[in-house]
């Protein structure tokens, strides 16, 4: 666990060192100069640091959401987006862009609002579709979620088809994700969700271990399987919705980070859940550093980097330790 | 002699209304007895076990666990008193054998985040009894079906309950480990625990069980010791096949004979 915390901390410390503009560090950290006369300090405080913090909370939320979803569905292929929350969120953003509800600037609060509301709507729809007699049966939950995922995905395509060039551009950029931020509000939103969702998940981490042995085994051991499924589903959905609405549907973090963590610490969710959160935070910050430096001064969208960087890294792990992932 | 762990009266349950899988079953299970539940496929054996765990609720009839209705006993308390080994073995992530056995202690440690040293001791004892101490660090996903079955048996033993309900615990085990497993369950019953095993390998369990309950069409067709239940005529009636029973001391070999039909049944 210390390893993952260290990874996250190192990434967080290194990250502000990279960026489009050169910062004079002596000047930026010199408190005797008033902020108004100190552009270096302004860049650090209002651009660099918020961006790192946003990457950390978003990466942590997505990875924790994915680890929870894998526990809930007992399926290592599950991710935060498996049950349609991200395509719901994307549809929300697409609706806002298509109907021009908020001006022309991209990543305005309008898309955030639309994406978050539609994420929650998706969560409620999938929950209602899958709910049976106090339970969310795994198979029905998976099929309902995946169907809604495709359904909303088709709506997004429809809106794209009907959109003009500029709207299309906005939406495509939104879907690639962005960690640009000028303030701390988005960070606080995700952080609040992270606190609210992670505490009950961590407390019940041991019950998720029993769930891996099957519903009957867990239920007869005294675990309230129905309640545990609802907690997992709602917490995972809220985390994904909060992150996606602020930074876009950045993929791969929520799928791969829990796997990498599991390969290092084993499948015990008492380690996998907090480990994923920390490693996810570090991973997205690391991806963000690369996205700003690889083709500098061009900044690549983080959604591209996570998979471009993550897939080869994961495949190399897979080659060496495949027996510990295959279930 | 311990008293009844389970009192089951007129138990009826059906997945479809009007078509009971368990039909007015009355049964007492006492501490210290090793009870083998036998019967044809689909006769309701597994359903009976699931009813006894509280996983499914009966449409009518009574199940008392230690003198109290099962329905008004808390899930945690049932879990502490009764360990249940389902027929299908599921382990979805690569846990080690030691971790799986330790999960058998959940009913005792409850919501606690960490396992206590008592739990570790109990898990170790269970692994010793099943003879799998060496596997502690092995991944369950890499074990063979029979090896995994022994890990899950150790998990059920680790709970140290008052009653064990095991659905075909030996179906994947070879001859030696079948004898080992049933011998262990016999020992556990001798310590005063009630052991209920659903079994198809009647011959393997015959020496160890002191009671046989033959279920057919959801009803108890015969209930008694091996001499009373493992009888050719009764088994032929239940299974609808010609049966041979060969007795040799405590052992009884039971196997289908003839051409797979009852004598006198028309040859199609």
Question: pLDDT (tens digit, 9 = 90+) per residue, A260-298?
Answer: 898 888 899 999 999 999 999 999 999 998 888 888 778
Q: Does B67 touch chain A (CB under 8 A)?
A: no
Shortest Cα distance, chain A CAs vs residue B226, angstroms: 30
What pLDDT score does B146 carry?
A: 92
Specify whether the CB–CB gap between B199 and B167 falls below 8 A: no
Q: What is the mean pLDDT of residues B236-255?
A: 89
Chain B positions touching A73 (Cβ under 8 A) are none
- The winner for highest mean pLDDT among A106-115, A128-137, B90-99, B194-203 is B194-203
**Beta strands at B82-85 and B251-256: parallel, antiparallel or unpaired:** unpaired
Mean of per-residue pLDDT scores for chain B? 91
Residues A87-104 pLDDT 10s? 999 999 999 888 877 654
**pLDDT level of residue A20 (50, 70, 90 thresholds):** low
How confident is the model over B154-160, as a mean pLDDT? 96
Higher pLDDT, B5 or B112: B5
Residue B41: per-residue pLDDT: 94
Among chain B residues, CA nearest to A209: B103
Q: How many CA atoms lie within 13 A of B212 on its CB side?
A: 26
Q: What is the mean pLDDT of residues A21-39?
A: 73
Distance from CA of A211 to the nearest CA of B (A): 9
Q: Looking at the partner chain, which of A217, A323, A325 has a beta carbon nearest the beta carbon of B90?
A: A217
* Distances in whole angstroms, Cα of residue B194 to Cα of each of A275, B1, B127, B188: 42, 11, 20, 8
Question: pLDDT-based confidence at B268, cuts 50/70/90?
Answer: very low
Q: Specify the higher pLDDT residue, A125 or A292.
A: A125
Looking at chain A, the whole-number percentage of residues with pLDDT higher than 90 is: 47
Per-residue tokens: A190 = 């995700």
- What's the CA gap between B89 and B75, in Å, rounded? 21
Domains in chain A (CATH in brackets) are 2-19+38-324 (1.10.3470.10)
CB contact under 8 A, B141 and A268: no
Q: Do B78 and A222 touch (CB under 8 A)?
A: yes
Confidence of residue A19 (pLDDT cuts 50, 70, 90): low
- Residue A216: its chain B contacts at CB < 8 A? 50, 53, 55, 84, 86
Helix (H) or strand (E) holding B254: strand B251-256
Is the pLDDT at B17 greater than 90? The verdict is no
Check CB contact under 8 Å for B86 and A216. yes
More confident residue, B262 or A308: A308
User: To the nearest whole angstrom, how far is the Cα of A220 from the nearest Cα of chain B?
Assistant: 6
Q: How confident is the model at residue B1 (pLDDT cuts 50, 70, 90)?
A: very low
HSE-up of B112 (CA within 13 Å, CB side)? 12
Q: Is the pLDDT of residue B31 over 50?
A: yes
B40 touches B239 (CB < 8 A): yes
Closest CA to A272 of A213, A325, A319: A325
* Partner-chain contact A217 B78, CB within 8 Å: no
> Which of A210, A221, A324 is the closest to B94 by Cβ?
A324
Q: What's phi and psi for B258, nearest 5 deg?
A: 65, -150
Chain A contact present for B69, CB below 8 A: no
Smallest CA–CA distance from A205 into chain B, residue = B113
Compare all CA atoms of chain A with the CA of B93 and give the residue at the minimum distance: A327
Q: Above pLDDT 70, what percent of chain A? A: 94
- Of the listed ranges A1-15, A168-182, B156-170, the one predicted with least confidence: A1-15
Predicted confidence at residue A263, as pLDDT, reads 86
Query: What does the pLDDT average to over A315-324?
Result: 69
Q: Please give the residue of chain A at the shortest CA–CA distance from B85.
A: A217
Residues B87-142 have pLDDT tens digits of: 887 888 889 999 999 999 999 987 778 889 999 999 999 999 999 999 999 999 88
User: Who among A75, A222, A325 is closest to B76 (CB)?
Assistant: A222
Question: pLDDT digits over B246-257, tens only?
Answer: 988 888 889 888
Query: How much is the average pLDDT of A51-72?
Result: 95
The pLDDT of residue A33 is above 80: no
Is the confidence at residue B34, as pLDDT, over 50?
Answer: yes
CA–CA gap between residue B47 and residue B37 (Å, rounded): 12
Collapsing DSSP to helix, strand or coil, B25 comes out as strand
Instruction: From A67, A55, A71, select the one nearest A8 (Cα to Cα).
Output: A55
Residue A38 pLDDT grade (very low, low, confident, very high; cuts 50, 70, 90): confident
Q: How far is B34 from chain A (nearest CA, A)?
A: 21
Is-contact A285 A55, C-beta < 8 A?
yes
What is the pLDDT at residue A12? 75
Token pair of A35, please?
């902020």
Which among A205, A213, A224 has CB closest to B103?
A: A213
Res A105 pLDDT > 50: no
Q: Which residue has the higher pLDDT, B191 or A39?
A: B191
Token pair listed for B26: 């009355």
CB contact under 8 A, B82 and A327: no
Rounded to the nearest 10 degrees, what angle do helices A109-130 and A225-247 cross at? 160
Q: Which helix (H) or strand (E) holds B229?
A: helix B226-229
B47 touches chain A (CB under 8 A): no
Residue B8's Cβ-side half-sphere holds a number of Cα atoms within 13 Å equal to 23
Query: What's residue B40's pLDDT?
Result: 94
Share above pLDDT 70 across residues of chain B, in percent, rounded to a whole number:
96
Which helix (H) or strand (E) segment holds residue B160: the answer is none
pLDDT of residue B39: 94
The pLDDT value recorded for residue A7 is: 80
Interface contacts (A, B; CB < 8 Å): 93
At A13 the pLDDT is 76
Contacts 24+ apart (CB under 8 A), A198-201: A198/A64, A198/A235, A198/A273, A198/A274, A198/A277, A200/A231, A200/A235, A201/A64, A201/A68, A201/A231, A201/A232, A201/A235, A201/A273
Residues of A with CB under 8 A from a CB of B: 74-76, 203-207, 209-210, 212-214, 216-217, 219-224, 262, 266-268, 270, 323-327
Q: Which residue has the higher pLDDT, A22 or A92?
A: A92
The answer to whether residues A186 and A246 touch, using CB atoms and an 8 Å cutoff, is: yes
Question: For residue range A221-260, what is the model confidence (pLDDT) as tens digits?
Answer: 999 999 999 999 999 999 999 999 999 999 889 999 998 8
What SS3 class is residue A45? helix
- Predicted confidence at residue A21, as pLDDT, reads 66
Ranking A35-49, A79-93, B19-33, B166-180 by mean pLDDT, the lowest is: A35-49
Instruction: Look at residue B115 in the predicted model and tell me its pLDDT.
Output: 87
């Amino acid at each position: 666990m210390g390893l993952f915390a260290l990874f996250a901390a190192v990434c967080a410390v290194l990250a502000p060192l990279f960026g489009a503009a050169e910062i004079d560090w002596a000047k930026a950290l010199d408190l005797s100069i008033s902020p108004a006369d100190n552009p270096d300090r302004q860049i650090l405080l209002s651009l660099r640091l918020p961006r790192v913090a946003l990457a950390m909370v978003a990466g942590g939320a997505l990875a924790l959401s994915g680890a929870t979803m894998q526990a809930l569905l007992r399926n290592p292929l599950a991710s935060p987006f498996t049950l349609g929350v991200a395509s719901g969120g994307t549809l929300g953003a697409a609706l806002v862009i298509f109907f021009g509800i908020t001006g022309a600037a991209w990543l305005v609060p309008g898309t955030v609002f639309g994406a978050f509301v539609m994420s929650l709507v998706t969560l409620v729809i999938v929950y209602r579709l899958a709910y049976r007699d106090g339970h969310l049966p795994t198979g029905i939950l998976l099929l309902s979620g995946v169907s809604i995922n495709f359904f909303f995905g088709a709506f997004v395509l429809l809106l794209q088809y009907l959109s003009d060039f500029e709207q299309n551009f906005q939406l495509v950029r939104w879907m690639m994700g962005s960690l640009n931020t000028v303030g701390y509000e988005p960070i606080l939103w995700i952080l609040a969700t992270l606190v609210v969702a992670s505490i009950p998940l961590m407390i019940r981490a041991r019950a998720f271990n029993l769930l891996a042995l099957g519903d009957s085994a867990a239920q007869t051991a005294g675990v309230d399987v129905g309640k545990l499924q609802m907690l997992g589903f709602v917490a995972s959905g809220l985390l994904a919705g909060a992150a996606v609405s602020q930074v876009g549907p950045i993929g791969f973090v929520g799928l791969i980070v829990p796997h990498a963590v599991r390969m290092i610490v084993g499948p015990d969710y008492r380690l996998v859940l907090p480990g994923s959160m920390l490693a996810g935070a570090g991973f997205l910050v690391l991806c963000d550093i690369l996205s700003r430096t690889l083709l500098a001064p061009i900044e690549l969208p983080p959604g591209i980097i996570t998979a471009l960087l993550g897939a080869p890294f994961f495949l190399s792990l897979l080659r060496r330790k495949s027996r510990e992932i295959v279930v | 002699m311990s008293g009844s762990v389970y009192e089951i009266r007129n138990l009826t349950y059906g997945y479809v209304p009007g078509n009971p899988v368990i039909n007015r079953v009355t049964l007492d299970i006492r501490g210290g007895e090793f009870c083998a539940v036998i019967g044809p496929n689909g006769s309701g054996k597994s359903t009976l076990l699931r009813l006894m765990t509280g996983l499914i609720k009966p449409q009518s009839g009574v199940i008392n666990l230690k003198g109290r209705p099962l329905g008004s006993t808390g899930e945690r308390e049932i879990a502490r008193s009764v360990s249940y080994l389902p027929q299908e073995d599921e382990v979805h992530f690569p846990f080690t054998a030691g971790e799986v056995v330790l999960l058998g202690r959940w009913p005792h440690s409850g919501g606690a985040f960490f396992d206590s040293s008592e739990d570790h001791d109990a898990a170790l004892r269970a692994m010793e009894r099943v003879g799998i101490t060496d596997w502690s660090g092995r991944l369950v996903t890499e074990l063979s079906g029979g090896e995994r079955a022994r890990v899950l048996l150790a998990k059920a033993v680790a709970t140290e309950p008052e009653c064990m309900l095991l659905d075909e615990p030996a179906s994947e085990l070879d001859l030696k480990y079948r004898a080992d497993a049933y011998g262990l369950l016999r020992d556990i019953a001798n310590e005063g625990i009630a052991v209920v095993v659903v079994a198809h390998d009647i011959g393997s369990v015959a020496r160890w069980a002191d009671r046989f309950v033959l279920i057919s069409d959801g009803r108890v067709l015969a209930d008694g010791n091996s001499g009373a239940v493992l009888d050719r005529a009764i088994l032929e009636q239940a299974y609808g096949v010609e049966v041979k029973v060969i007795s040799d001391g405590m052992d009884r070999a039971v196997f289908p004979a003839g051409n797979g039909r009852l004598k006198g049944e028309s040859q199609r």
